Structure 1
């Protein structure tokens, strides 16, 4: 059985349509449909139920494709290991991440990345919008969120935490903030994001989480600008640890509630690598994911990098 044809079938199952798989592979949908039909003919079973409106896996198709997907991934990994330095990754890799994460965590790693992979050109798309990977031919995205949902494959690169921080000048002028409930009476710097602007969550070990209503006249959509406003003494802000690690270490910001975990949505959040499919994962994407998974925890900690 042609492994590329099997990979195409798995990709169709992962993305949910011939059209989506065709976009990922830069092929015509009819070509993808014919490939899957040929696989079904050789297997002697129907993998998908087709109607004019939707494509669904058959019971047999779900069992078969679920079993072979990790085998195909192992074949690709074995090929990469066998190739080694002889097949050094090359070409252009398009990577998207938020503006703040690109600047704070990815750019500091570029010298080491290019030293390891001199034949690989990296195109960084720094954007706070969720770019459509398939439509824009993007190889890899780094997204900051709880576990992502949807058709894309995700791998956690970094565990993230949020801290409520303020500048020493602000705390000296306005007095100490002793408990999270004190924030109800203090104008806060609010992220202009759904779920972040009206309530923050707190918890301590062994205790139930609780929410605190937040208000304030300044809402900012940029993480970098929000950090700068906190540094300039405009009030307390909820900021990601990778964004403020150096500021905390050097005393420019103070963790207001070090005994508490803080968040706005969920406590278990992270930086995730998202990509269309494991079964057609180019080596340039594999090595980049491995590099980021290994180096990002050090870069996010910042002091000494």
Structure 2
């Protein structure tokens, strides 16, 4: 339990992860400290910190605990299929468009896995919230989490046929600077879109407009309603482009708001052993999504 407290940063977080009363966690750690004969944590009313001796101890035992956990899981699953509760989080739009259609195949493939899908646009702390796997849409992720790319993504400037009939078809991305664009309120997306043609040098176009939202689904609906052009990911608008609800304005140009190497990345806590259920889910998602 001490290793979990150190990983999550507080007794309260560990208690939430284990569904226990914080006092029970505190008593367990105190009993461990009494048995060891030294303090693992320095505690004050405002903060908690791992002691020097605690840091040495936890660094040595964490790989052993992970190994024991993996050995138990391998023994339980020997000759059988992956099983247990798997908590997966992704953005609301990606969950709706890309993940929910895969559920029938996932259920058929892994009947022993109970999947808890958590659609949310905030980047939740995986460890503190007991989440096994997250899907993030971005350039290559940075940080302490392990990441693997599930699929490449592209961004497209799209508008409805009705908007084009009323406002005309812009012949160059620079024209967007004089138009009321539909903008994502996410940091890095609201003020400038970047374009590149072939091997030419990329250039930014300042964008403005009266409508902003953090919801990709709302942004797509606003574009379909004819309210203006929007920068949207290809996986979100593929069906609308096919059905004629939206039109790509600059098919000869690459466009983005952050970088040209965006993708859908699977992230999971950095640890020595990967649970069988997570490994199986990763392989499934990679196979299903890589050809989108």
- Corresponding residue SS for 2:208: coil
- Deviation (angstroms), 1:257: 3.8
Structure 1 residues 131 and 270, CA gap change in structure 2 (3 angstroms): same
TM-score by structure 1 length? 0.72
Structure 1 residues 260 and 272, CA gap change in structure 2 (3 angstroms): closer
Partner of 1:217: 210
Kept in 2, the 8 Å contact 1:24–1:276? The answer is no
Kept in 2, the 8 Å contact 1:157–1:292? The answer is no
Partner of 1:191: 184
TM-score by structure 2 length? 0.75
Q: 2:263 aligns with which of 270, 276, 296?
A: 270
Partner of 1:66: none
- Deviation (angstroms), 1:138: 1.1
In structure 1, runs of 5+ residues without a counterpart are: 1-10, 28-72
Partner of 2:283: 290
- Corresponding residue SS for 2:290: helix
Partner of 2:147: 155
CA distance in 2, matches of 1:84, 1:134: 24
- Deviation (angstroms), 1:89: 1.3
Partner of 1:60: none
Q: 2:239 aligns with which of 237, 246, 264?
A: 246
Structure 1 residues 295 and 26, CA gap change in structure 2 (3 angstroms): same
The CA deviation string for residues 245-290 of structure 1, in whole angstroms up to 9 with x for no partner, is: 1111222333434333333x11111111111124232111111111
Verify: 1:281 aligned to 2:283, yes or no.
no
Aligned residues: 290
CA distance in 1, matches of 2:238, 2:167: 24
Structure 1 residues 139 and 113, CA gap change in structure 2 (3 angstroms): same
CA distance in 2, matches of 1:26, 1:13: 17
- Corresponding residue SS for 1:86: coil
Kept in 2, the 8 Å contact 1:155–1:273? The answer is yes
Structure 1 residues 118 and 217, CA gap change in structure 2 (3 angstroms): same
Kept in 2, the 8 Å contact 1:154–1:272? The answer is no
- Corresponding residue SS for 1:206: coil
Structure 1 residues 135 and 83, CA gap change in structure 2 (3 angstroms): closer
The CA deviation string for residues 70-123 of structure 1, in whole angstroms up to 9 with x for no partner, is: xxx9xx999999998822111211111110000000000000000001111111
In structure 2, runs of 5+ residues without a counterpart are: 21-65
The CA deviation string for residues 226-260 of structure 1, in whole angstroms up to 9 with x for no partner, is: 00000011010000111011111222333434333
Structure 1 residues 16 and 132, CA gap change in structure 2 (3 angstroms): closer
Partner of 1:86: 79
- Deviation (angstroms), 1:20: 9.5
Structure 1 residues 78 and 175, CA gap change in structure 2 (3 angstroms): farther
Partner of 2:254: 260
Q: 1:200 aligns with which of 193, 201, 218?
A: 193
The answer to which of 266-275 and 208-217 deviates more is 266-275
The answer to which of 136-145 and 77-86 deviates more is 77-86
